[in-house]
Amino acid sequence: MKSVEHSMSIAEAAEHTGLSTHTLRYYERAGLMLTPVDRASSRHRRYSDDDIEWVGFLTKLRSALMPIAQVREYVDLVRLGEATTAARLDMLQRHRVSVAAKLDDISQALTAIDAKIAIYSKRNGNE
Amino acid sequence: MKSVEHSMSIAEAAEHTGLSTHTLRYYERAGLMLTPVDRASSRHRRYSDDDIEWVGFLTKLRSALMPIAQVREYVDLVRLGEATTAARLDMLQRHRVSVAAKLDDISQALTAIDAKIAIYSKRNGNE
DNA sequence: ATAAAACTTTGAGTGCACTCGAAGTCAAGG
DNA sequence: CCTTGACTTCGAGTGCACTCAAAGTTTTAT
């Protein structure tokens, strides 16, 4: 059911995804697209709605601090189909745990800095 | 009262701070040390307890995602003395806010991924 | 005394994730 | 048609934060 799919140019795709055209091409070169982005007769890229959605998911992974290389591993698993579901789940969960630890570290550092802020605020005659 | 201060070699400083000797020299070159690290007659670095403590603070700033350039700005303010206390406070607070926002973004992305995990977990074996 | 290990400086190299440039092709308005 | 601007590929450049190399000096252990 990909009937009424309106494809878009790379510029439009950039607008929809919030990435630059450079980054969209870069992701494609890096093997992050689930399926090849199809082309107009002119060889210009035509992004389908599914492509846009997929890029949205990639962006989620990147926003969650997953390195490009690991995103690619994940994508490779997805392309291998259902047999890799468990592996994918495991990967996401492990990543989740490691990021949570990282966030914890950052929070701790922020807390230490807060202590510094508190000291300044006091000393600063701000009561 | 910095009487019984036992200074240490760069190797020992590395051990105490958890940074590499490379990084310690790099931080120094980058102008991040509050005061010049003093040298033995051999020109080998001798890290004082204060130096170690300062590096610990630098590490807190870095752990809280503050870029080197901004850390340097901060250090420059510290060297200018008490007159800059307000500016420093402001800087730390602003940084705190921006990092909090960043952590929020990351958390949101993680939450979205969690949804994906939930889907996988439920129908363990569907696209 | 001598060999090995640790230290010094300075410049260069690495890895990541883009980001840009060049040279050319294609599309849309006047 | 013709120009202007968007698009193509692919290699190169950027910025950050280290990380390492080379060549020489100093310290430590034997």
User: Does the distance separating the beta carbons of B116 and A92 come in below 8 Å?
Assistant: yes
SS (HEC) of chain B = CCCCCCCECHHHHHHHHCCCHHHHHHHHHCCCCCCCCEECCCCCEEECHHHHHHHHHHHHHHHCCCCHHHHHHHHHHHHCCHHHHHHHHHHHHHHHHHHHHHHHHHHHHHHHHHHHHHHHHHCCCCC
Residue to substitute from B113, B122, B126, interface A, most A β-carbons within 10 A? B113
User: Does the distance separating the beta carbons of B126 and A93 come in below 8 Å?
Assistant: no
**Which has the higher per-residue pLDDT, A127 or B1?**
B1
Percent of chain A with pLDDT over 70: 92
Return mean pLDDT, chain B.
92
Residue B112 near chain A (CB below 8 Å):
yes
Percent of chain B with pLDDT over 70: 92
Residue A6 has pLDDT above 80, yes or no: yes
Query: In chain A, where are the structural domains located?
Result: 8-79, 82-127
CATH level 3 topology of A8-79: Multidrug-efflux Transporter Regulator; Chain: A; Domain 2 (1.10.1660)
Residue nearest to nucleotide D7 (CA to C1'): A44
Looking at residues A42-49, what average pLDDT do you find? 97
Residue B22 has pLDDT above 50, yes or no: yes
CATH level 3 topology of B1-79: Multidrug-efflux Transporter Regulator; Chain: A; Domain 2 (1.10.1660)
